[in-house]
Every structure is written in C-alpha cells, then in structure tokens.
Amino acid sequence: MVNQNKQINRREWLKTTVTISAGIMLSNIVFGATSKKNPTILIVSGWQDVNIGDIAHTPGLLHVMETFLPKSKIILWKRSNGEEVKKLLNKNFPKVRIIYGGVDSDKNVDNNEIMEAFKEADLMIHGSGPLLVGADNLASWMKHTEKPFGVFGTTLETPNKYHVKILKKASFIYTRETRSVEHLRKVGINGDHVAFAPDATFYLNIHNEEKAASFLKENELEDKKFICAIPRLRYTPYHLFNPNKNGWSDEKIREVEETNLKYKEIDHAKLREAMIAWVRETQQKVLVCPEMTYQVDLMDELLINPLPEDVKPFIVKRGYWLPDEAASVYAKAHTVLSLECHSPIIAAANGTPFFYLRQPEDTIKGQMYYDLEFDDWTFEIDETEAQQISDQLRIVWTDYDKAKEKLAFSMKKVDDLYKEKTAQIQKLMLD
C-alpha cells in the first residue's frame, strides 16, 4: 500500500494527459498519464554483462512481470549493451521492446526513443541490483514526467544524499533483503510502501537445454550425480577489467588486492574440503564453474590444483557462460556450492539445493537467504569450519527429498512475496 502522506497525489496526475510533437525540446517536457487496466511499464535494468548474476536480474524481473502482471506491456531500458545478452533477451522475451541510451548531467536523455518510452509508460521500475544503480535514469523520469516509479528487489545499504532524494519520491521501494529496510528508516524513508521483495533472479526461467546437454554429455556429468563449486575473491577486482581502473584510487586498489591475497586460500580451502568429501564418499563428479568472467583464470589455482590426486580425476571445468546455460546445468546438478551470491539463486530457481558460503565483504544482500529461511544452507565463511560445510552436504545427499521439500517451502515464500508486491503495483496504477 502506498504511503499517501509521502507520495505525489496520484489521482490528480492520473487524470491528466499531455501530448507532445516530435519537435518539442526534450528537456522541458512533462508527461502525464491515464489510468489503465493494461498499463505500460518501463523497466531500467542490466547493469553489466561480466556476471551471470547481474545478467539474470533482468530476465528474472521480466518473468515476474509476465507472470503476475500479464496484461502489462513492458519496455526495457537496458544499461549494458553486450551483444550476446541482447540476443538472449530478444530470444526469450520477444514481446519486450528493448531500448538503450544514456542520461546527461542535466538529467536529459540522449535519444528520442527514450522520451517516447517516457510518454508511453505509465510506471517506471528500477530492477534488482547492489544499489540504486539507475539513479540517473530515475532522475530523468522524474524530470520529464509526473508519473510514479518504484524499486524492485534492490539492496539499498547506506544510500547517499542523491539516492535518498530520489527514493523519497518513490511510490514503492521493495528491497531484496530486510536489512535495507532498516537502512532506509535511518535516513527517514519508511512506510507501508517500503517492504521486502527478493532479488528477481529467483524468478529466472530461461534455459539453454541444447548447449547444456552437449556439455554434460561430453563431460559425462549425469543427472543429479554431480555438484557445482563456484569460487570468489573477497572483493571483485573490477580495476583489472573496467576502464580507468573502475575509478578506484591506488589506496583502494591496494586494499582490494591485499584482502583478496589474505583470504583466498583460507576461503577456498573450506570449499575444497566439501568437494573432497563428496568425491570420496559418493564417487561422483564436481563441476567447477564461474559466476564472473575473472574467476575462470582462478579456478585451477583456488579449487583444482590443491586437491588430492585421487580427487582430481573427478573434476570438470567450465569457462564463462550465460545464465541460460548455467540454469540448465544447475537444474541437473545435485547441489550447488558457491562463494558467489547468485549461482545459488539460479540453482534455487531450478529446484536444486544450494549452499551459499558468504564472505562479509559481499554486502548485506546475503541477508535475503535468512529472510527466506535458508539458514541451514548459508555459511558465514569467517565463522564456519570446513567440516560444517561437509557435514551439511552429507545431510543433503543422505535425505535429498527432504532437502528439496525445504527448498520448495522457501520458493513458495518467494512466489507469495512477488504476487503480493505486484498486486500492490497493479493497484497503484489503477488508483
């Protein structure tokens, strides 16, 4: 329910329609809207393409919309512009119009296609992410329209003043874990319109069965007879593959590299122990695979080379992939063990149990696992002994049906939350 004391009077602008001609200057237009039973929603999402988790946010949210708001027309304003991901989205969501373009310092957009989307859309939604990544996109929407906007499944940890100014005008703010709700309260943002809705990746439904089947067959990975292991450094080394060293200072880079060096063996030794227990006790394989591009070059060093010689013949490697193939492979895996946050979610979306080995540097987003009652499968890496991970894995493979029931229970909670929150969005657009 929208907090009426803090929101724009929607009834006034919903009665107003403003039309424009192509020649009107873009920077001075204010669009109104009309109440619709079949609304158009503009989604801003797609922050980067070097991470299957970040890629998965977008198709996940598109599937949420098509499931619970099936009569809505969707326009996707995609931030990243990778060709492979573009093809992936076009293939799986042919009805969704995808637009691209930036926002300048005056919060004007750089092409008329975006302005036409502003005119057509009744609502704008900021998709899942680590923070208000699309703040400028929302600010442009606010400048050129008086129509509502909201945030869906996003971590909002200690938002800065710019983000707070925008969020205070939002009609709904659905954070992907409950701790963000607390952070918003501290900066004066609270009300019924602020609530928990899990990361949209939980609704990822795209697959590449053909590519996955070929890989599984080639490597003799049988259905539910292998586990997956995903590495991660404490800090993603963005300075190594982003322009201008990701804008980091020399001091920041030094902190990142020193922290990664300090913990990489400690963390991955705990994951390796579970891999060893699985291989020796089940005589079944382990697929070592990445969530981010940089991890491909680290898999041997961190997870494979240090293994005992009797275990190494059971190890299979996979290079970087897209989330559709990963989803198809995870669906066939017995269990997914990951130091990354989103491979477990992709596994869960495909009915596969998972373990999330959470590093404290990986933001507060890991709280969502506790919010969804995945406590037994969430391991705070600094507080976890290797034996605890192996013991819990043994429990899962000993009573796999019980593990799948546990997963189904929490995924029902995800369904219920998405259904509830999209119903509130629908009501907002019809109010």
Q: Please report, for the domain that includes residue 176, its CATH number.
A: 3.40.50.2000
Same domain membership, residue 215 and residue 195: no
Confidence of residue 35 (pLDDT cuts 50, 70, 90): low
Query: 18-22, 52-56, 131-135, 182-186: which has the minimum mean pLDDT?
Result: 18-22
Instruction: Check whether 1 has a pLDDT greater than 80.
Output: no
Q: How confident is the model at residue 31 (pLDDT cuts 50, 70, 90)?
A: low
Q: Categorize the per-residue pLDDT at 431 as very low, low, confident or very high, splitting at 50, 70 and 90.
A: confident
Per DSSP, 263 falls in state H
Domain limits at 246? 209-398
The amino acid occupying position 299 is M
> How confident is the model over 263-270, as a mean pLDDT?
98
Asked if the model's pLDDT at residue 231 lies above 80, the reply is: yes
DSSP single-letter state for residue 159:
-
As a whole number of angstroms, the distance between CA 88 and CA 367 comes to 30
Taken as a whole, the chain contains a residue count of: 431
pTM given for the model: 0.91
Please say whether the beta carbons of 149 and 168 come within 8 A: no
Q: What is the mean pLDDT of residues 71-87?
A: 95
User: Mean pLDDT throughout 264-276?
Assistant: 98
Largest CA distance in the chain: 72
Per-residue confidence band for 25, with pLDDT thresholds at 50, 70 and 90: very low
The 378-380 sheet, strands edge to edge: 315-317, 285-288, 226-230, 335-338, 354-358, 378-380
Task: In whole angstroms, give the CA distance from residue 130 to residue 153.
Answer: 9
Is residue 160 one of the residues assigned to a domain? Answer: yes
The verdict on residue 280 lying in a domain is yes
Same domain, 41 and 178: yes
**What value does the mean pLDDT take over residues 31-43?**
73
The H-or-E segment that residue 256 falls in is helix 250-282
Q: Give the mean model confidence (pLDDT) for residues 356-365.
A: 96
| Percent of the residues in the chain that have a pLDDT greater than 70, as a whole number | 92
Query: Is pLDDT at 265 greater than 50 in this prediction?
Result: yes
Give me Rg for the CA atoms of the chain. 22
Does an H or E element contain 355, and which?
strand 354-358
The count of other CB atoms within 10 Å of the CB of residue 199 is 28
Is residue 225 included in any domain, yes or no?
yes
pLDDT mean over 107-134: 96
- pLDDT averaged over the chain? 92
**Same domain membership, residue 174 and residue 81:** yes
Confidence class for position 11, pLDDT limits 50, 70, 90: very low
Q: Are residues 307 and 278 in the same domain?
A: yes
Query: Would you say residue 260 lies in a domain?
Result: yes
Q: Both 258 and 347 in a single domain?
A: yes
The confidence score (pLDDT) of residue 192 equals 95
What is the model's pLDDT at position 15? 35
Residues 344, 369: one domain? yes
Average pLDDT over residues 160-183: 98
Cα–Cα distance between 163 and 146 in angstroms, integer? Answer: 18
Q: Are residues 198 and 216 in the same domain?
A: no
Question: How far apart are the C-alpha atoms of 253 and 258, rounded to whole Å?
Answer: 9
Q: What are phi and psi of 153, to 5 degrees?
A: 70, 50
Cβ-count burial of 311 within 10 angstroms (0-12 exposed, 13-18 middle, 19+ buried)? middle
Query: Which pLDDT belongs to residue 38?
Result: 83
Number of structural domains found in the chain: 2
- Same domain? For 17 and 147 the reply is yes
Q: Is residue 314 part of a domain?
A: yes
Asked if pLDDT for residue 27 goes beyond 70, the answer is no
DSSP 316: E
Residues 244 and 360 placed together within one structural domain of the fold: yes
The whole-angstrom separation of Cα 51 and Cα 115 is 29
CA-based nearest residue to 122, from 146, 94, 98, 138: 146
188 against 23, higher pLDDT:
188
Both 22 and 162 in one domain: the answer is yes
pLDDT (average), residues 266-290 = 98
Tokens (6 digits) for 260: 């990664």
Query: Within a domain: residue 75?
Result: yes
pLDDT recorded at residue 325: 98
Q: Residues 198, 345: one domain? A: no
pLDDT tier for residue 256 given thresholds of 50, 70 and 90: very high
What are the residues facing 40 on neighbouring strands?
Answer: 73
**Residue 42 · residue 118 · CB < 8 Å:** yes
148: its two tokens: 């509502």
143 φ, ψ (degrees, to nearest 5): -70, -40
pLDDT for the residue numbered 243: 83
Which of these ranges, 11-20, 134-143, 168-177, 383-392, has the smallest mean pLDDT? Answer: 11-20
Q: How far is CA 401 from the centre of its chain?
A: 27
Q: Is the pLDDT of residue 29 over 60?
A: no
What is the pLDDT at residue 242? 83
Does pLDDT of 14 surpass 50? no
In a shared domain, residues 19 and 48:
yes
- Does any domain span residue 102? yes
